[in-house]
Amino acid sequence: MTTNQQTKPEKTDAVPGAPLLEVDDLHVEFRTRDGVAKAINGVSYSVSAGETLAVLGESGSGKSVTAQTIMGILDMPPGVITGGEIRFHGRDMLKMDKDERRKIRGKKIAMIFQDALSALNPVYSVGFQLAEMYRVHEGMSRKDAKARAIELMDLVKIPAAKERVNDYPHQFSGGMRQRIMIAMAMALDPELIIADEPTTALDVTVQAQVMDLLAELQRERHMGLILITHDLGVVADVADKIAVMYAGRIVEHAPVDKLYSSPAHPYTEGLLASIPRLDLKGQDLYAIKGLPPNLMRIPSGCAFNPRCPYAQDICRADVPPLIEVAPARHSACHFAQQVLDKNGGS
Amino acid sequence: MGRYVVRRLLQMIPVFLGTTFLIYFMVYQLGGDPISAMFGDKAADPVFVRQMREEYHLNDPLIVQYWYYLTGLLTGDFGTSFSGIPVADELKRAFPISIRLALIAFAIEIVVGVGAGLLAGLRRGKFADSVVLVTTLIVISIPVFVLGYVVQYWLGLKWQLFPATATPGDPTWEDLILPGIVLGSLSLAFVARLTRTSIAENMRADFVRTATAKGLPRRRVVTVHLLRNSLIPVVTFLGADLGALMAGAIVTEGIFNVDGVGRLIYLAVTKHENATVVGAVAALVIVYLVMNLIVDLLYAVLDPRIRYA
């Protein structure tokens, strides 16, 4: 890197240690002809500079919808934000006007999408798409922006960046394309990156490389990172804390090592038990019984109760709140303490 | 790329031979004696008839006649009509008029069609969308001759916005506006609907979402990222349509008295002027083939994933 991207004068407004982004009791629903799907039902989490939050959950758990709402790229309609705040440096972005919001997108908060092949525009060269960030946000000339695009491609370790800058997305391999996506997100040196399943579409060997690159850049630049995934393996190495989502709620929130060693929610327990393990080779893999709930008919009480081995009458009647069960550990389960004790966490 | 173009051009030769022969054959099958037809109700002069039939090789079998025609074409001779006018001259007169008319129709089609389609696609399910859908449906359902007379009556005669009929022989650009509207209307409706569908579909595409997430202004997201991708199917239609606009103007040219290719072909058919019919249609075939090639090449420009070798 020859540019001065390491110095970040615009970040002085951030109070050290204070959360960069706070999602506070967010509610989002999708109003369709078939009915109302309650996608997010009171999600709260926060990310500080230099911190990695992993958001874990099955498809339909609301993890991507939360990310899209933060980015302001939720399709509205059918999506409707029915409550909550999303504060960036303490300011509620949901109350900002369109233009102010747009200037945060890409520049302060950037997003990395799952499938780079469809997320990149097929008819423009990667150089054009990278340079566009500088041309639009910083009014840079075509030539300067292109030079910066090449620097970006070097940054994400794409070989022969100079020769490849005019190539089109389809001419790159999956891993290289995802690097382009990362480069695009890094372009304006954002304070927060949201990565929505950044490695899901990649080969296992490439997954690790891409994840390492992302983690390295995040460390160097002291950015906040929200890593959305359903892959427990990806999370363990890079995340500081984990939020587990189920049916639009956070069911467990804990530092990464604590969560792995001693889950405090039956759903997390089930997820961990379903990871294939070498020492259990030959045995049937554990699977959480049942299916994720239909978001138009979320079960009463705890949404997980029909699938939960601990379920009692109270679980069918009352929604368990997310409460602190041990220092820095939160679980939304009526029997959280019991689950935690069983797993040796207290 | 160069080799691809050469191959495509070479492929045109058999297509051209096949189509001209088919047209020649069909016109031959129309029957009737063109020479006697020249005399109308009066009795034909046998000496003249014999002389003419000899001169125009009408006594030879079809295949020999076609051979004479083809060798003539290769030396640039499109043949001579029975009234003694070289077909090449007739084409030289009629084609520029039809090209001008087609270009006007084409311009209206692109500007109004793509514009309406973009508007409807961006506001799918809203009022503007319904207006575009209903209007295009009406335009598609109305036969061209009805639309032609209605436009001519209201815009040309009643309100006198534009000339109702073209100046005979050499129509001005202004003369061609009304026929241009009528000629382009059907395709305009198709272009609008095609654009609408394509835009609405691509609005949900991941790369449009990426463009928004990059913090680009909405105008740039739509014009740079959405429109370029959405126009690929529209360009295919437009390319094929430019050929059709030139050939398909028979009714329109008739209504507005435009002396273009459509009228030339129509009159030639009624008068059994075989050489004129074949010549005009053969020229249209070439226009079609060339337009198709241009569209295919344009494809590669619009979508870099397509490469020709």
Q: Average pLDDT, stretch B229-235?
A: 89
Structure tokens at B272: 């059994």
Q: What is the pLDDT of residue A17?
A: 52
Q: Among partner residues A73, A103, A118, which is closest to B213 by beta-carbon distance?
A: A73
A230 close to B (CB below 8 A): no
The model's pLDDT over A100-157, given as tens digits with 9 standing for 90+, comes to: 888 888 889 999 988 888 899 999 999 999 999 999 988 888 999 999 999 989 888 8
Q: Does A137 touch chain B (CB under 8 A)?
A: yes
Q: Is residue A84 part of a domain?
A: yes
State the average pLDDT over residues B144-161: 86
Q: Tell me the residue range of the domain where B37 lies.
A: 2-74
Residues B68 and B112 in one domain: no
For B86-118, b where at least 16 C-beta lie within 10 A, e where not — what string? ebeebbebbbebbbbbbbbbbebbbebbbebbb
Same domain, B116 and B252: yes
CB contact under 8 A, A122 and B229: yes
Q: What's the domain range around A270?
A: 246-342
Contact A110 B213 (CB under 8 A): yes
CA-to-CA separations, B309 to A50, B2, B4, B8, B160, in angstroms, rounded? 50, 8, 6, 11, 54
This model of the complex carries an ipTM of: 0.83
| Residue A6 resides in a domain | no
B-chain residues near A107 (CB < 8 A): 215
Distance from the Cα of B200 to chain A's closest Cα (Å) equals 13
User: Which of left, alpha, beta for B283 (phi over 0: left; psi -120 to 50: alpha)?
Assistant: alpha
A vs B, Cβ pairs < 8 A, gives 68
Domain-ending residue, one of B35, B53, B74: B74
Of A195, A220, A239, at which residue does a domain stop?
Answer: A239
Task: Please indicate, yes or no, whether residues A228 and A150 belong to a single structural domain of this protein.
Answer: yes
Q: Which residue of B has its CA nearest to A114?
A: B206
Single-letter amino acid code for the residue at A247 = A
Distance between A77 CA and the closest CA of chain B, angstroms: 12
Q: pLDDT tens for residues B182-223?
A: 999 999 999 999 999 999 989 888 999 999 999 898 899 999
Cβ contacts (< 8 Å) between B298 and chain A: which residues? Answer: none
Judged against a pLDDT cut of 50, whether residue A319 lies above it is answered with yes
Contact B206 A115 (CB under 8 A): yes
Q: What CATH number is associated with residue A168? A: 3.40.50.300
pLDDT at B131 over 60: yes
Rounded to a whole number, what is the distance in Å from the CA of B192 to chain A's nearest CA? 22
Same domain, B177 and B298: yes
Cβ contact B215–A120 (<8 Å): no
Closest approach of chain B CAs to the CA of A254, in angstroms? 29
A89 touches chain B (CB under 8 A): no
Boundary of a domain, candidates B16, B49, B74: B74
What are A160's two structure tokens?
């022969």
